[in-house]
Amino acid sequence: MKKLFPFLILVFLSCQVFGQSNNQMPAFEIGLSSTVGNFGLNETFHSETFPRCFEGCATTGSNPSRSFSIGISGRYNFNTTFSIIAGFAYSSNSYNEEFTGSNGASNFTRNTRRQFDFLDVPVLVHANLFALPGTKISFFTETGIINNFNLTGKFPNSDSNIELNHYGISGSVSAGLRLHTTKLNIEVAPFYTHSFSSYGQDVRASETTQNFTPTDFRPHYMGIKLNLLMPLKF
């Protein structure tokens, strides 16, 4: 906690300096938002449709894969420092996994590409930190929650018996730079998002197969965010 207070004071002073050096900020902004990056899972799991593993099963390789989203966002600027952001976006994510096991007679390997799609509704707080003197570039940070409406009904495909929850909530944080122009403001920032909710539901018991229960499906994302904003004047 002692280390947190100097950081908060620094952020507050930076915001004050930005507010004094940038007195022109439109009340409303609207535009396009997109992200590109990696999508990963904390835990790997499989449907009970996999053959029973008499001699043990193991995930021998798994790696985060692509993540992409695009949507529309609106922003209300309370002043030159603080803003609130809301909108919606379509998010497409994939995950690659290699699974090996033995059925007692021979070994087998299966490669699975998992696809997860979400409708995201973010609610974020935006804070302008400071501007570079004599330029149109400033620095900002954002944090908040994202409501995730899961469009993927079953895992890993429609033939699986693993049902997924339809709603979850994530936390997101980012920090980057903003370029101010007359008609368009451009923001670029690295971001990290982690789900607070698990989308997995228990797999029913089976005597003939070995079950992998997805009780902790909490995806996470890392990448770059791009915002193209137009000021609205009434």
pLDDT above 60 for 14: no
Least confident of 51-65, 109-123, 192-206: 51-65
pLDDT at 37: 93
pLDDT at 165: 81
Identify the band that residue 175 occupies on the pLDDT scale cut at 50, 70 and 90.
very high
pLDDT at 20: 43
Domain of 102, CATH number, reads 2.40.160.20
Question: What is the count of structural domains for the chain?
Answer: 1
pLDDT at 141: 96
Which has more pLDDT, 209 or 151? 151
And the tokens for 163? 């049902």
pLDDT at 98: 65
pLDDT at 137: 93
Kindly report the average pLDDT of the chain as a whole number: 76
Q: Cα separations (Å) of 123 from 75, 83, 143, 163?
A: 10, 11, 9, 27
pLDDT above 60 for 120: yes
For the ranges 45-54, 87-96, 215-224, the one whose mean pLDDT is highest? 87-96
Identify the band that residue 49 occupies on the pLDDT scale cut at 50, 70 and 90.
very low
Q: What percent of the chain has pLDDT over 90?
A: 38
Measuring CA to CA, which residue among 123, 121, 125, 213 is closest to residue 167?
121
Which has more pLDDT, 157 or 26? 26
Burial 171-190 (b: 16+ CB within 10 A, else e): ebebebebebeeeebbbebe
pLDDT above 80 for 11: no
pTM, 2 dp: 0.74
Domain of 142, in residue numbers = 4-232
